[in-house]
């Protein structure tokens, strides 16, 4: 019940924040110089045609009125039509989101699969050869340019070995899976390094704390200590870190998606920014912000479940 109240309170607090976010989402793209009408018409644009287009899409109306129109749409789950693609923005998002979500979840899964065992083992065998090796690898992985790693993997597996596709999302289930291997792996490199390091340090800290000794002295078996206490406690900070990384990956997918030619949200966003596709940018930025806020909320709730010390 207390948790429910907490969530409720947090959601109430979100309302004014959402209002400001909608303002920013709306105005930020309009601050960028360049007229979408002229861009639509291309290099052979006459001034009359530009004026006609501005009239047709309501771009000539005062900004506050355009903003109200945007907000009225938002309340009805209607983000209007994309200026560039001439289809409802919502359809574009629906068709692109799965790619980005799949990429984010796959790379999260890969990161967790690597970082939990490696971090745990390193932490419990602190200072050993494996720990040092993993430490150096983590430092390296964090420092490498993602776009370069992506290109290198692409050259090696796509061009030299020719065993994985060089871009696009392939056909059929295996085709899709194969297309996602390289991008997901590239995307997961930094996250898995950060997570491994975090888990390892948390494990080291917890082992040196009194309550593990205390548990041990109470005759709780070694295995139980490991499972219940060490891992659970190590997960607290990991959840926070992971949520931050997921939010980052959703936005950072732009670079991965453009290297591997994946038709995801990131690609859609950058194309829309360049095309001054106002309706798409304002919707995507707004939705992104909401998703990030929801991730943060979920994290806080998870945090409170994992760590009973957190007070509301």
Partner 1 sequence: MRKKKSSHKKVTFIVGSVIVGLVVLMAVFPRIFTKYNPIDVDVMASLSPPSLKHLFGTDNYGRDIFSRVVYGARIDLMMGVLGTVVPFFIGGIAGMLAAYYSGWFDRILIGLIDIMMAFPFTILVIVIISILGNGIINVYIALWLVGWMSYAKLVRGEVLVLKNSDYIQAARVAGFSDGRILLRHLLPNVVSAAVVYAVSDIVLCMLTGASMSFLGLGVQPPTAEWGAIMNEGKSYISYAWWITVLPGLIMAVTGVGFSLLGDGLTDYLRRKGR
Partner 2 sequence: MKKKFVTGKKVMTLLLSAVMIFSMTACGSEAPAEAAVDEGSTEATKEAEAGTENVSGEAAAGEMADSITIVRTADAAYLDPNAESIGGAEVMVMQQIYEGLVKSSLDGQSIEPCLASDWTISEDGLTYTFHLVPDIKFSDGTPVTGEDWEWSLLRARDTETSAYAFIAEAIDTVEATDSQVVITLKQPWAPFLADLCNFNMVVGCKAYYDKVGAEGYNKAPLGTGPYMAAEWVKDDHITLEANPYYHEAGYPKTKQIVFSVVTDDNTRLMQLQAGQADIVSEVPLSMAPVAEKDENLNFQMFDSTQQRYFILNTTKAPFDDIKVRQAFEYAVNKEELAQVIAGEYGKPAASIVSDTQGKWCDTDLQSAAYDPEKAKEMLADAGYSDGIDFTLTIRSGSDIYEQMATLIQSEAKEAGFNITIEKLESAAVSEKYENLEHQATILMWIDDIVDPSGVCGWTVDYDQCNGWYTGLNDTALDDLNTQACSELDETKRIEMYHDIQQKVHENANVLPLFSNGFAYASGKNIEGLYVSPFSVLDCKELVKTK
Binding residues for partner 2 (CB under 8 A):
32-36, 38-46, 48-49, 52-53, 56, 77, 84-88, 90-99, 101-102, 105-106, 109, 158-159, 162, 165-173, 175-177, 180, 258-259, 261, 263, 267-268, 271, 274-276
Cβ-contact 196, 220 below 8 angstroms = no
From the list partner 1, partner 2, none, pick the one residue 20 interacts with, judged by a Cβ distance below 5 to 8 Å according to partner type: partner 1
Closest CB to partner 1 among residues 58, 145: 145
Residue 146 interacting with partner 1 (CB under 8 A): yes
* Nearer Cβ to partner 2 (93/236): 93
Contacts 24+ apart (CB under 8 A), 66-75: 66/26, 67/23, 67/26, 67/27, 70/22, 70/26, 70/279, 70/282, 71/22, 74/22, 74/286
Sign of CA dihedral 151, 157, 160, 162: negative
78 membership: H or E segment, kind and range: none
The mark string for 208-247 relative to partner 1 (x by CB under 8 A, - otherwise) is ---------------------------------------x
33 vs 42, beta carbon nearer partner 1: 33
Q: What are the φ and ψ backbone dihedral angles of 239, each rounded to 5 degrees?
A: -60, -45
Q: Which CB sits closer to partner 2, 98 or 127?
A: 98
**Burial class of residue 270, CB neighbours in 10 A (0-12, 13-18, 19+):** middle
Question: Are the C-beta atoms of 189 and 146 separated by less than 8 Å?
Answer: yes
For residues 36 and 276, is the Cβ–Cβ distance under 8 A?
Answer: yes
The site partner of 68 among partner 2, partner 1, none (C-beta below 5 to 8 Å per kind) is: none
Closer residue to partner 2 (CB): 54 or 126:
54
- Residue 248 touching partner 1 (CB under 8 A): yes
Q: Which does 292 bind (CB under 5 to 8 A by kind): partner 1, partner 2, none?
A: partner 1
Which are the contacts of 274, defined by CB distance < 8 A and separation ≥ 6?
A: none
- Our finding on whether 252 is near partner 1 (CB under 8 A) is yes
Q: 134 with 128: CB under 8 angstroms?
A: no
Closer Cβ to partner 1, 40 or 229, answer by number? 40
Which does residue 86 bind out of partner 1, partner 2, none, counting CB within 5 to 8 angstroms by kind?
partner 2
Bin 221: left if φ > 0, else alpha if -120 < ψ < 50, else beta: beta
Q: Name the binder of 147 from partner 1, partner 2, none, CB < 5-8 A by kind.
A: partner 1
Measured CA to CA, the distance from residue 73 to residue 89 in angstroms comes to 11
For residue 305, the partner it binds in partner 1, partner 2, none, with Cβ less than 5 to 8 A by kind, is: none
Neighbours of 278 (CB within 10 A): 22
Number of other CB atoms surrounding residue 3 within 10 Å? 11
Segment near partner 1 (CB under 8 A); pick from 21-29, 41-49, 65-73, 234-242: 21-29
Residue 92 touches partner 1, criterion: CB under 8 A: no
CA distance 270 to 277: 10
List of residues contacting partner 1 (CB under 8 A)? 17, 20-21, 24, 28-29, 31-33, 127, 132, 135-136, 139-140, 142-148, 151-152, 155, 159, 247-248, 250-252, 254-255, 258, 266, 269-270, 273, 285, 288-290, 292-293, 296
């Amino acid at each position: 019940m207390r948790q429910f109240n907490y969530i409720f309170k947090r959601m109430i607090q979100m309302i004014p924040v959402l209002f400001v976010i909608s303002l920013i989402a709306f105005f930020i793209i309009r601050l960028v110089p360049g007229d979408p009408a002229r861009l639509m018409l291309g290099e052979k644009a006459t001034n009359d045609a530009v004026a006609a287009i501005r009239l047709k899409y309501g771009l000539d109306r005062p900004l506050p009125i355009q903003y109200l129109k945007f907000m009225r749409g938002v309340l009805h789950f209607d983000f209007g039509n994309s200026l560039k693609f001439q289809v409802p923005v919502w359809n574009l998002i629906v068709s692109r989101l799965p790619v980005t979500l799949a990429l984010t979840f796959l790379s999260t899964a890969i990161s967790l699969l690597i970082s939990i065992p490696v971090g745990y083992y390193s932490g419990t065998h602190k200072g050993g050869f494996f720990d040092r090796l993993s430490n150096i690898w983590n430092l390296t992985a964090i420092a490498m340019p993602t776009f370069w790693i992506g290109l290198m993997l692409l050259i090696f597996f796509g061009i030299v070995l020719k065993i994985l596709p060089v871009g696009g999302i392939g056909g059929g289930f295996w085709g899709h899976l194969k297309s996602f291997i390289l991008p997901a792996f590239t995307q997961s490199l930094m996250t898995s390094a950060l997570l491994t390091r975090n888990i390892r340090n948390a494990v080291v800290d917890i082992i040196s704390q009194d309550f593990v000794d205390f548990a041990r002295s109470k005759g709780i078996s070694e295995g139980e200590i490991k499972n219940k206490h060490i891992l659970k406690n190590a997960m607290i900070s990991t959840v926070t870190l992971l949520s931050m990384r997921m939010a980052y990956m959703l936005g950072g997918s732009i670079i991965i998606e453009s290297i591997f030619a994946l038709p995801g949200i990131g690609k859609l966003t950058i194309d829309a920014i360049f095309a001054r596709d106002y309706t798409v940018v304002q919707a995507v930025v707004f939705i992104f912000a909401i998703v990030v806020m929801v991730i943060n909320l979920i994290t806080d709730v998870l945090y409170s479940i994992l760590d009973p010390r957190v007070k509301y």
